[in-house]
Structure 1
Amino acid sequence: MILTKSKLLLASAAVLALASCTDPGYVTGESQSKTKDGAIIGGLLGGFIGATSGSPKNAALGAAAGAIVGTAIGSALDQQKKDLDASFTNSAIDVVNTGTELIVVMPQGILFDSDSSTVKSSLDGEIRALATNLQNYPKSTVTIYGHTDNTGTAEHNLLLSQRRADAVMAKILSAGVSGGRVSAVGKGEDSPVASNLTEEGKAANRRVEIVIHPTN
């Protein structure tokens, strides 16, 4: 079904109205922005689903419901990020709140020796802190992505990244997180975040990302 302009405008208007009414009393700065992002994204999805039903009223109701759910998710992510930041002692670990998920970035240098997939014992405490956080916030699934630079063959890097993602997953599971929530994916050299033409760029590309996806 082709959506009419009026239906899309109505859904968008409902989203913006609800996002502007979000109570910012308990969040500031980046957290406030991410909570609003969740409301807007949820509202757009709800509005679109409602609009496809053919009813302008359903579009508005869908946008409203989606915005409420999105606001709740954004608020929970704000708090979970704060708790993670407080629990990590290694300053090299970064926690990014995208508004719809959390990404915990651990550089390869603190996790593994060169060409190794054995997690350094010095990171055991940080991984236990992550596992505790995941148990405290059980309404999520977790995907662990292993990444490398482009040194060596693509096949070797893909296999190494998978072994590293698997190794981090094993540590998280051994710390008590349910296996049904966690998966591991090796990306090899396919998803760089910096240029592989410099040593600094290669170091940034060698990493493990733990992506936390809210389930409601």
Structure 2
Amino acid sequence: MKTSVRLIVATTLITLLSGCAVDGMNKTATYGGIGVLAGAATGALVGKHNRGKGALIGAALGGMAGAGYGYYADKQEAELRHQLEGSGVGVQRQGDAIKLIMPGNITFKTSSSDVSSNFYNPLNQVAASLKRYDQSAITVVGHTDNVGSRQRNMDLSQLRAQSVANYLISQGVAGTRISTVGAGPDQPIAGNGTEAERQENRRVEINLQPMNQG
């Protein structure tokens, strides 16, 4: 029976390594593999009279449960990339999280915190996805360049983040899932020496991550 357990562990390790080699951004294999290992260990302990059988059952259940969030995130990422193609919104996968980057020049008018009407459609697509995939926590973060006083930029970034959050809520996304942050000029993704660089820094980001990670 020990051979069966060893076989499960060996097979899982191969799967994990293969999954990472083929696609480092695909979390399904990783989550599933971890679930298999955990399930096998638990099953072997619980099935004292037949550890091999217990490990096999545990591995199967653990694999299905472990693959759940990875599969979920993969599907949502693919959907968002397809729906937001050509909208100007960037989609990034960072570990377990998905980040949507919305440039300020297409989301807000200069010095305004009111969402531009021509941006309603992309936000509607985002809201629809967030309602379908409702197992993630949502953090909306506003960013600015460094022009003007820091306090003004902090206030503007918070107002813009709240405006996006309010719009998502108006489209049916649960407000209990959403938090907002005004980062002002403190987290630039480019320099602030040219207008093109400052434009990159003026943005709103929507960060999606598993609820149990806050």
How many residues in Structure 1 have an aligned counterpart in Structure 2?
A: 180
CA offset at residue 72 of structure 1?
3.2
Matched with 2:47 is: none
Matched position secondary structure for 1:161? helix
In the alignment, is residue 79 of structure 1 matched against residue 75 of structure 2?
A: yes
Distance 1:30 1:37 in 2: 10
Q: Deviations over 1:104-123 (max 9, x none)?
A: 00000100111111100011
CA offset at residue 182 of structure 1?
0.7
Distance 1:132 1:38 in 2: 26
Change (3 A) 1:206 1:38: farther
Matched position secondary structure for 1:103? strand
Greater CA radius of gyration, 1 or 2? Answer: 2
Matched with 1:178 is: 174
Matched position secondary structure for 1:21? helix
Deviates more, 1:170-179 or 1:67-76: 67-76
Change (3 A) 1:23 1:182: same
Change (3 A) 1:97 1:78: same
Matched position secondary structure for 1:82? helix
Distance 1:101 1:30 in 2: 14
Which of 99, 114, 118 is 2:114 aligned to?
Answer: 118
Which of 134, 148, 153 is 1:152 aligned to?
Answer: 148
In the alignment, is residue 128 of structure 1 matched against residue 108 of structure 2?
A: no
CA offset at residue 66 of structure 1?
9.6
Matched with 1:201 is: 197
Report the TM-score when normalising by structure 2: 0.72
Matched with 1:212 is: 208
Distance 1:200 1:89 in 2: 22
Q: Deviations over 1:44-92 (max 9, x none)?
A: xx9xxxxxxxxxxxxxxxxx99998664322221110111112225441
Which of 2, 15, 28 is 1:21 aligned to?
Answer: 15
Distance 1:117 1:38 in 2: 39
Distance 1:19 1:97 in 2: 24
Distance 1:184 1:115 in 2: 19
Letter in structure 1 aligned against 2:132 = N
Report the TM-score when normalising by structure 1: 0.72
Letter in structure 1 aligned against 2:76 = Q
Change (3 A) 1:164 1:68: same
Distance 1:19 1:169 in 2: 41
Structure 1 gap ranges (5+): 1-14, 47-63
